[in-house]
């Protein structure tokens, strides 16, 4: 499965002002299984709301390790700037991706019936020193999308603008 959203605001490369539409995803949203999609679509919805281009893929550190290696090592070259990884159970996807790239990796632990997501939370958050994964709450895919937008907003003023509007909406109740 691959879902592409080509809408994107990016500052003009020369002037660093204004928004250009380019057809490249800035955020990669990965999930360990198609069964994670109902949760992980929250990340996509948040990024779409903030007008940040993104792509979604299913791949697994356990089931398709070569695909994960290929994606993580090639992401920077194809223009990806942040990677979000959602997985349940023994959730090693985010850690595996983080081991191959210096791009920031955000992990979303996904709940399963056995341990209510504690298994995925600990597998995602308890990374060894040297290889961080910024872990959000169990099922926190929407926050992962917002956090990705916030990371990008340091570089892209247009995204920052949209995030400030989001804060205003929150304050307005």
Question: Least distance from C-beta 40 to ligand C2R, angstroms?
Answer: 9
Residue (21 or 137) nearer to ligand C2R, CB: 137
As measured in angstroms, the least distance from the Cβ of 92 to ligand C2R is: 4
Tell me the closest approach of the beta carbon of residue 33 to ligand C2R, in angstroms.
3
**Left if phi > 0, otherwise alpha if psi is -120 to 50, otherwise beta: which for 25?**
beta
Integer angstrom CA distances of residue 159 from 20, 91, 102: 12, 30, 22
Round to whole Å and give the CA distance between 83 and 64. 17
Could you tell me which of 153, 163, 128, 28 has the C-alpha nearest to residue 86?
Answer: 28
Q: What's the min distance (Å) between Cβ of 142 and ligand C2R? A: 17
Q: Identify which of residues 24 and 62 has a Cβ nearer to ligand C2R in the complex.
A: 62
Interaction site with ligand C2R (CB under 6 A): 32-33, 35-36, 60-63, 87-93, 110
Q: How far is the CB of 148 from ligand C2R (least distance, A)?
A: 19
148, 117, 134, 151: which is closest to 39 by C-alpha? Answer: 117
Q: Whose Cβ is closer to ligand C2R: residue 54's or residue 60's?
A: 60
Which two tokens mark 99? 């081991």
Tokens of 43: 């990340």
Q: Are 1 and 56 in contact (CB under 8 A)?
A: yes
Closest to ligand C2R by CB, 7 vs 63, is: 63
Determine the Cα–Cα distance for residues 69 and 48; give it in Å rounded to an integer.
26
Q: In terms of CB distance, is 125 or 163 closer to ligand C2R?
A: 125
């Amino acid at each position: 499965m691959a879902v592409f959203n080509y809408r994107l605001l990016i500052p003009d490369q020369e002037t660093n002002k204004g928004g250009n539409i380019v057809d490249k995803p800035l955020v990669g949203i990965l999930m360990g299984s198609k069964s994670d999609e109902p949760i992980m679509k929250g990340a996509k919805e948040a990024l779409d709301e903030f007008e940040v281009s993104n792509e979604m893929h299913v791949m697994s550190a356990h089931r398709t390790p070569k695909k994960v290696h290929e994606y993580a090592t090639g992401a920077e070259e194809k223009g990806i700037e942040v990677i979000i990884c959602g997985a349940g159970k023994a959730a090693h996807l985010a850690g595996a991706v983080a081991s191959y790239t210096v791009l920031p990796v955000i992990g979303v632990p996904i709940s399963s019936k056995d341990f209510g997501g504690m298994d995925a939370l600990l597998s995602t958050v308890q990374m060894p020193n040297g290889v961080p994964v910024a872990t959000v709450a169990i099922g926190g895919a929407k926050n992962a999308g917002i956090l990705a937008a916030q990371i990008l907003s340091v570089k892209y003023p247009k995204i920052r603008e949209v995030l400030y509007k989001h804060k205003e909406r929150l304050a307005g109740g």
